[in-house]
Structure 1
Amino acid sequence: MTRAPCRTHPRSVAPPSGAATDRTLVPVQELHDAPLAPLTTFRLGGPATRLVTATTDDEVIAAVRAADTAGTPLLIIGGGSNLVIGDKGFDGTALRIATEGFRLEGTRLELAAGEVWTDAVARTVEAGLAGIECLAGIPGSAGATPIQNVGAYGQEVSSTITEVVAYDRGSGETVTLSNAECAFSYRHSRFKEHPERYVVLRVRFELEEAGGLSAPLKYAETARVLGVEPGDRKELAEVRRAVLGLRAGKGMVLDPEDHDTWSAGSFFTNPILEADEYAAFLDRVRERLGDETAPPAYPAGDGRTKTSAAWLIDKAGFTKGYGTGPARISTKHTLALTNRGGATTEDLLALAREVVTGVREAFGVTLVNEPVTVGVSL
């Protein structure tokens, strides 16, 4: 894949067509004391002082500028699939980005930040383009994908993103950042490193035309389900169906009727350990589980090793369905903490803290939450 050349600084570009230059422009929808729980996949969290829904880039920029000019705290909400909002809510302006835009020219794809991600993946598969098919079924919006460097089943968006168009709150300009400037790493990016600075407006991808076939399959489980070897390709539609089936089997496809999917997907990231940390971890594994036990291990570069958070949680005694209260571990996947229908955010955090403490005591590894917390912390 050909990527845009690396630049030392993001370049300034003209605002999107018709972009707002009047800082007093009022977005189209505004509510006060607005519930935020329905806007999250957890269905948790208190209200926002003010909720603005923006449907164009113009309105997004105007709402951000208005909040910044007034010195008002600002919370950006896309699909709400990676948010844990405190029970007291958010004292400030919550900006819900509901922009639309799917533009496909050859193998080049541009998505507005508010586009529903899983729908966009389906459309690229229908168009016969490979590169994001293994990211099917991930809830949330397109604008959130570069922030977290969303990945699953052997693919990450960083492998296909060429540019991200964002509003830079520091300079007050719209900027375009190349792939290199996004500083992608495992579940991380420049946008996550500086969460108060950038508001993603558009994401651009370079996909692959491979005669209706997928990208080479990197994830062993996906290859096994499809009856091929890792590195092989398979029909795009088959790969998408297989991924959706795998995700559904783990409760990772959002279903409003199924409380086992009221989650943020994987609540913890897979730990990446330095060489000395990994050696100490192996000692703890042998002490607890015996010399014959080998934990999952994957090279993570620079002598580091990545292991499985799901394995750690399970072996520390937190099995599928763990818990008796309104917040429990999913019955389908140990990485998903779920709201069984009557939970509060504090219920969820109490469970998360119990898991973190238990894993640390068992293996000396501290799990890190993947969702963004608002007004609360572990």
Structure 2
Amino acid sequence: MPEITPVPLSQLTTLRVGGTPQRTVDARTTGELVDALRDVWSTGERWLVLGGGSNLLFSDDEFDGTVILVRTTGIERLPSPNPGHVRLKVQAGHSWDDLVAQTVAAGLSGIEAMAGIPGTTGAAPIQNVGAYGQEIVETLVEVELIDESTGDVSVVPASDLGLGLRTSVLKKHYGSVPERSAVILSVTLELAQVGHGAVPVRGTQLRSALGLDADAAVPLAWIRETVLEIRARKGMVLDEGDQDTWSAGSFFQNPVVSAQFAATLPAEAPRWSMAPEPEADRVIPLDQFTGFVPPRVGGPAPVKISAAWLIEQAGMRKGFRLPGSQASLSTKHALALTNRGRATAEEVAALARLIQQRVQSEFGVLLQPEPVLFDVEL
């Protein structure tokens, strides 16, 4: 097993906090990753797989177990049963942002709006990563994973992963354990072959972020570049010299509430209906028409509201920090909790707790943390 000298988690995570594990394993092939997992599971010791370290908050205490670094890379192009599409099987340790860049360069559509999201491809389905209304659930076909309970490797369809808003059956939510303890070895996506010309932009949230009209058409490369510019302005693209990017990304999820509750918020509160895009008109040949037209689903759709807006309106502006603390809100985006150089895990947690309390007191909404927390309490 490729064991290396233990590396402090503060050097392996984008938030730059965390103690040193007892053991560190560097897995660069699928075989090494499988062997390392089966070995650590056979001992019953505590374990963690780590890709880009972009969605984690660790305690500063020693991690009493083994950290397995997932360094597997590679993309295999596969045929799709659907005309005009192609499938990509991507190894778990492959950089997600590099994957987005490679798909755009190949004229493949489906994940271009998720450019700049840090981390690895294997981590993407765990919390159903998404940005600007685009989520991996829209393109994910299946994952290859290994289960802790059996040590067996299997291929699991996306429909069995319980993919929802920043969640899946594989995610360790704050205060709970995953429904299924398993590690993703590879991810298979199905993307549309659209080429390099202008294409229509799906989704009102993405069009709004890009400043596009409903009938606008632009190249994939323009979408990716514009998303990267937007994210960079918010400090959401990793930059060694910018402490606003020393974060776990968005620390809180954008809440999804009922339409009735959303109506109680001030009119200026940003919100996005979760109603699906309306289907295009269908023409049914007369000889196939049965006389039955499925009824439309009634009732108002849930609404997603901006956690960043709630935080700022609760009195915590960009750059807010507690006295003497090295943890602060980003000076560019109120949804990112950042390390200003020497922050401890407890300083980050204290700021997060205050934000939760203020927002709940002001608006009656309890913000839920998006990162996975290890030995840290909110």
**Could you give the per-residue CA deviations for residues 158-197 of structure 1, whole angstroms, max 9, x where no partner exists?**
1011011101111221011112112211111121162661
- 1:130, 1:213 within 8 Å by CA — same for their partners in 2? no
- 1:89, 1:375 within 8 Å by CA — same for their partners in 2? no
Between the aligned partners of 2:132 and 2:57, the Cα distance in structure 1 is 24
Between the aligned partners of 2:202 and 2:131, the Cα distance in structure 1 is 10
Between the aligned partners of 2:263 and 2:58, the Cα distance in structure 1 is 36
CA 1:369–1:57: 2 relative to 1, 3 Å: same
Deviation at residue 79 of structure 1 after TM alignment: 0.4
> Normalized against structure 1, the TM-score is what?
0.85
Residue 100 (1) aligns with residue 73 (2): yes
Between the aligned partners of 2:367 and 2:215, the Cα distance in structure 1 is 31
CA 1:49–1:174: 2 relative to 1, 3 Å: same
SS in 1 for 2:353: helix
Deviation at residue 104 of structure 1 after TM alignment: 2.4
SS in 2 for 1:207: strand
Between the aligned partners of 1:214 and 1:94, the Cα distance in structure 2 is 44
SS in 2 for 1:313: helix
2:17: which partner in 1?
A: 44
CA 1:266–1:196: 2 relative to 1, 3 Å: same
Question: Counterparts of 1:201-216 in structure 2 under 5 Å?
Answer: 201-213=185-197, 216=200
Deviation at residue 141 of structure 1 after TM alignment: 0.5
- 1:133, 1:214 within 8 Å by CA — same for their partners in 2? no
Question: Counterparts of 1:355-366 in structure 2 under 5 Å?
Answer: 355-366=355-366
Out of 250, 258, 262, the position equivalent to 1:266 is: 250
Deviation at residue 254 of structure 1 after TM alignment: 0.4
1:197: which partner in 2?
A: 181
Deviation at residue 226 of structure 1 after TM alignment: 5.1
Between the aligned partners of 1:231 and 1:90, the Cα distance in structure 2 is 52
> Percent identity between the aligned chains?
43
Question: Counterparts of 1:217-296 in structure 2 under 5 Å?
Answer: 217-218=201-202, 222-223=206-207, 228-230=212-214, 232-274=216-258, 278-279=260-261, 283=264, 285=265, 293-296=267-270
2:271: which partner in 1?
A: 297
SS in 2 for 1:192: coil
SS in 1 for 2:166: coil
CA 1:318–1:214: 2 relative to 1, 3 Å: farther
CA 1:159–1:93: 2 relative to 1, 3 Å: same
RMSD: 2.1
| One-letter code aligned to 1:296 | P
Deviation at residue 237 of structure 1 after TM alignment: 1.0
Question: Counterparts of 1:1-378 in structure 2 under 5 Å?
Answer: 26=1, 28-32=2-6, 34-105=7-78, 107-192=86-171, 194=178, 197-213=181-197, 216-218=200-202, 222-223=206-207, 228-230=212-214, 232-274=216-258, 278-279=260-261, 283=264, 285=265, 293-300=267-274, 304-323=302-321, 324=323, 325-378=325-378
SS in 1 for 2:217: coil
| One-letter code aligned to 1:238 | W
SS in 2 for 1:103: strand
Between the aligned partners of 1:312 and 1:224, the Cα distance in structure 2 is 20
| One-letter code aligned to 2:244 | D
CA 1:344–1:214: 2 relative to 1, 3 Å: farther
Between the aligned partners of 1:29 and 1:329, the Cα distance in structure 2 is 37
> Normalized against structure 2, the TM-score is what?
0.85
Number of residue-to-residue matches in the alignment? 341
**Could you give the per-residue CA deviations for residues 70-98 of structure 1, whole angstroms, max 9, x where no partner exists?**
11101111100001010103110111111
Between the aligned partners of 2:234 and 2:205, the Cα distance in structure 1 is 13
Deviation at residue 139 of structure 1 after TM alignment: 0.6
User: Gapped runs of 5+ residues in structure 1?
Assistant: 1-25, 286-291
Between the aligned partners of 1:360 and 1:161, the Cα distance in structure 2 is 35
- 1:154, 1:218 within 8 Å by CA — same for their partners in 2? no
| One-letter code aligned to 2:227 | V
Q: Which runs of 4+ in 1 moved over 6 A?
A: none
User: Gapped runs of 5+ residues in structure 2?
Assistant: 80-85, 173-177, 276-298
Deviation at residue 60 of structure 1 after TM alignment: 1.1
Between the aligned partners of 1:164 and 1:126, the Cα distance in structure 2 is 24
